Structure 1
Amino acid sequence: MEKGSGVVLATERYGSAESWKYVAKDGVMERRRDGGEGESRANSIVGVFKSVFLPQGYPESVSNDYLQYQFWDTVQAFSSSLSGTLATQASLKGVGVGNQEATVAAATVTWLLRDGTGMLGRILFAWQKGTKLDSEAKKWRLFADVLNDIAMFMEILAPYFPAFFILIVCTAGIFKSIVGVAGGATRAALTVHQARRDNMADISAKDGSQETLVNLAGLLISLILIPLVTDNPVLTLSLFFLFTILHLFANYKAVRSVVMETFNEARLTIVLQQYLRDSRVLSPQEANQREPVFIEFSKSVPIKLGVRLQEVLQSKDELDLALKHNGMPYLLGVKHGCVCICLGPEAAVHDEIRAMCQAVWLSSKLTTQTSRDLSTQQKQSHWELVHESHKLMDTIFSPFLKGVEAAGWDVKRTLLDWDEWRVEWKTKSN
């Protein structure tokens, strides 16, 4: 301590951003900023900016990928705002703004039809795909943004096809309603991932502030763009494609930057297959980099989790086959080209992970089979694979689970897409 500097009585810090010390000098306690004199946090421009737009306690209160994701999310929001301005102008032109022959009633009917079909689309999409939005948040986040660009492109083209204008804008309205559900739900799923101190509400609120600031900047740019693109379709489409390319690139980088530590089907498949090849456990960072971020609408051998018993077996003999070599609270079977799992009510998270590992192994084995023959002989070979998968898991699952925990994976919860059926069985063959 320097001579005359006083005696340090206490120190305090604000996360990793600032540190202060209380010094006793000449009988008076003074508060000094550690590392030199400077402005207090409240008067610091950077400090004020952080407190307004970043969650409290940043960066300790959020995941490590927060800043990179938010940067690309800001870029995509800005480009989407500009694209939306072009689409809105085209929609207003299509419903008759600026046209003396257009009527208010016709424009109102068009707008109501668009909103009405959008509401129906929102309900149907949430019904069909709601459970997928947690387990495959990255894929549906990117899908939503691609669909949003398609919808805006349709709105820009709609005025040039007056005979089909209502059909086009209603279809675009359905697409945008799907975007609203998928985008909002996946944003919530990503917020859960980013929150490290149960501060989801704070992160969500600050994300809204960031988006509002970006939209305000987009609004100011739009005021310059609108006079330039009015009655200039070539420039309108050129700018739209430019903003769309930037939008899609930023979205791809955003979802690629997310590093989730919980298992969904894709991440567990990647980690398990690597472990089976060379006994190496991938870290969350490595597995997330390999995870596909585009929607796969069909798989050669899909996996169904938490199904009804009849989707796994249909006879007493098949129940005996399902229970052979199986001391776990779940049943596996292969039906109609799918790997299906019945889950018992007492199954824990680790049981779910093990069941999924078996299903992934079975799916990869069945994918290599070129024949889809459903004869008795083929069914028997499927059961043999199921029995082999039980024996394999008895050998490798315990060290695999320890390895993924040591690598930083969260195995206390999963993002596997389990349905709600739970089955209790009372017959077992030794």
Structure 2
Amino acid sequence: MEEGGALVLATERYGGAESWKYEAKDGVMKRSRGSEGGATESTVFGVFKSVFLPQGYPESVSSDYLHYQFWDTVQAFCSSLSGTLATQASLKGVGVGNQEATVAAATVTWLLRDGTGMLGRILFAWRKGNKLDSEAKKWRLFADVLNDIAMFMEILAPYFPVFFTLIVCTAGIFKSVVGVAGGATRAALTVHQARRDNMADISAKDGSQETLVNLAGLLVSLILIPLVTDNPTLTLSLFFLFTIFHLFANYKAVRAVVMETLSEARLSIVLQQYLRDGQILSPPAANQREPVFFEFRKKVPIKLGVSLRDVVESPDELHLALKNNNRPYLVGVRNGCVCVCLGPEASVRDEIRAACQALCLSSSLNPSAAEGNASTKPLIPNSHWEMVCESHKLMDNIFSPFLKGVEASGWEINRTLLDWDEWRVQWKSKSI
């Protein structure tokens, strides 16, 4: 191929950013920037991009990466400024600047705060660690709200000297929960953003972005500290202002995330829409409807991957659980919960089907949810086992076209974020 008398020997591209071509002219090979393809970049922007964005951006990350990182940067900046105000109040509370305060008393207070925080970190990870993957958005937002509450307590603590230690220890527990929930959910979001098995690179660049933001926050804090010292009114006013921006940015950040992996909340949204009008929601549409706050309204809970005794208590009940069921899972209703017992040979598709069936049963058992929803009315017979039997028939009719539609709409069906426990049961149906 010849261009302007020169023979083009080869072309190359660095990601989607820029292209180059090699030309042979008069026996010499020359390299020049190509005119087609990616846009040219300034040297400053190119350096900034290589330092703070993952290699191969934007092809190497999810489509929601930049939107999420923008709001995450805003919330980190606001949190840094609020943290400065809280730190100043804590130092004042332990006696910095007070000639009557002792080093021993300040040290004991600090150690008690750190110690209770360590215990809180262990207990929270034990109780809620398995929920942080399946409900990453909720726990991410919860962590930031709790962090603001903890900082507010630290700001108020010096004005209640009698309860100062109790207040800062409670705030320390809250911050330890924030550390676990925030760090774990950030890891879950990194898994979602990594499209080239580049989790470490994304995590490292996220750390660089956060460091840059904290540095900017530090510079602004140097201006704020002289203004707020011994001025509680201004301190609280600025704190509430930063907190409002912080919470708003966090809400926008979690709303920007579009996960293609099915969790219980996203599967419920997609399934209910399908039962209502046969439409399969795309990942962006379902993610926009996904709740990001914890809901306190009463609903029938679902337990996935439970022990056999949580589903049946007698051979007769096992016989009822197996009625119209040739799948490697058992479904039952016990103690106000829909429970699913999984067999060892169950595939990911079986897990999705079992979760769909459990969601249908949960909606049918919840009068407020079932009211006015025609799709759940056929599943309300006289007994729970009759309801389970009818739900098997419903799944036989709808699940195959539903799953095909889910896959065609861009959802990931080879893995899920459904909250399965570790029980696996091998039952013998022939003896029943």
User: Could you say which TM-score interval applies, normalised by the shorter chain?
Assistant: over 0.9
Residues 369, 248 of structure 1: CA spacing in aligned structure 2 closer, same or farther, 3 A cutoff? closer
SS at 1:197 equivalent: coil
Residue 38 of structure 2 is aligned to residue 15 of structure 1:
no
User: TM-score by structure 2 length?
Assistant: 0.95
State the partner residue of 1:217.
216
1:409 to 387, 408, 411: 411
Q: Which amino acid aligns with 1:14?
A: Y
The alpha-carbon deviation at position 295 of structure 1 amounts to: 1.7
Residue 287 of structure 2 is aligned to residue 285 of structure 1:
no
8 A contact 1:66–1:194 mirrored in 2: yes
State the partner residue of 1:373.
none
The alpha-carbon deviation at position 300 of structure 1 amounts to: 1.7
8 A contact 2:280–2:405 mirrored in 1: yes
Identical columns (%): 81
Residues 108, 298 of structure 1: CA spacing in aligned structure 2 closer, same or farther, 3 A cutoff? farther
Residue 235 of structure 2 is aligned to residue 239 of structure 1:
no
Residue 207 of structure 2 is aligned to residue 170 of structure 1:
no
Q: Structure 2: how far apart are the matches of 1:319 and 1:235?
A: 67
Q: Where does structure 2 lack aligned partners over 5 or more consecutive residues?
A: 370-379
State the partner residue of 1:267.
266
Residues 109, 297 of structure 1: CA spacing in aligned structure 2 closer, same or farther, 3 A cutoff? farther
CA displacement 1:218-274 (0-9 Å, x = unmatched): 000000000000000000000000000000000000000000000000000000000
Q: Structure 1: how far apart are the matches of 2:10 and 2:46?
A: 23
The alpha-carbon deviation at position 75 of structure 1 amounts to: 0.2
CA displacement 1:297-327 (0-9 Å, x = unmatched): 5642000001111111111111010000000
SS at 1:23 equivalent: strand
Residues 256, 6 of structure 1: CA spacing in aligned structure 2 closer, same or farther, 3 A cutoff? same
Q: Structure 1: how far apart are the matches of 2:144 and 2:131?
A: 16
The alpha-carbon deviation at position 2 of structure 1 amounts to: 8.5
8 A contact 1:62–1:195 mirrored in 2: yes
The alpha-carbon deviation at position 207 of structure 1 amounts to: 0.1
State the partner residue of 1:424.
426
State the partner residue of 2:376.
none
CA displacement 1:363-414 (0-9 Å, x = unmatched): 00000189xxxxxxx9961111101110000011001010000000000000
Q: Structure 2: how far apart are the matches of 1:228 and 1:204?
A: 36
Q: Structure 1: how far apart are the matches of 2:5 and 2:232?
A: 70
State the partner residue of 2:34.
34
SS at 2:383 equivalent: helix
State the partner residue of 1:375.
none
Q: Which amino acid aligns with 2:294?
A: I
SS at 1:342 equivalent: strand
Residues 77, 3 of structure 1: CA spacing in aligned structure 2 closer, same or farther, 3 A cutoff? closer
**Number of residue pairs the alignment of both structures matches:** 421
Residue 309 of structure 2 is aligned to residue 310 of structure 1:
yes
SS at 1:231 equivalent: coil
Residues 118, 425 of structure 1: CA spacing in aligned structure 2 closer, same or farther, 3 A cutoff? same
The alpha-carbon deviation at position 4 of structure 1 amounts to: 3.6
Q: Where does structure 1 lack aligned partners over 5 or more consecutive residues?
A: 371-377
Q: Structure 1: how far apart are the matches of 2:195 and 2:40?
A: 27
User: TM-score by structure 1 length?
Assistant: 0.95
8 A contact 1:323–1:429 mirrored in 2: no
The alpha-carbon deviation at position 34 of structure 1 amounts to: 1.3
Moved over 2 A (4+): 1-5, 38-41, 296-299, 427-430
Q: Structure 2: how far apart are the matches of 1:358 and 1:327?
A: 14
8 A contact 1:324–1:429 mirrored in 2: no
**RMSD (Å) for aligned C-alpha atoms:** 1.9
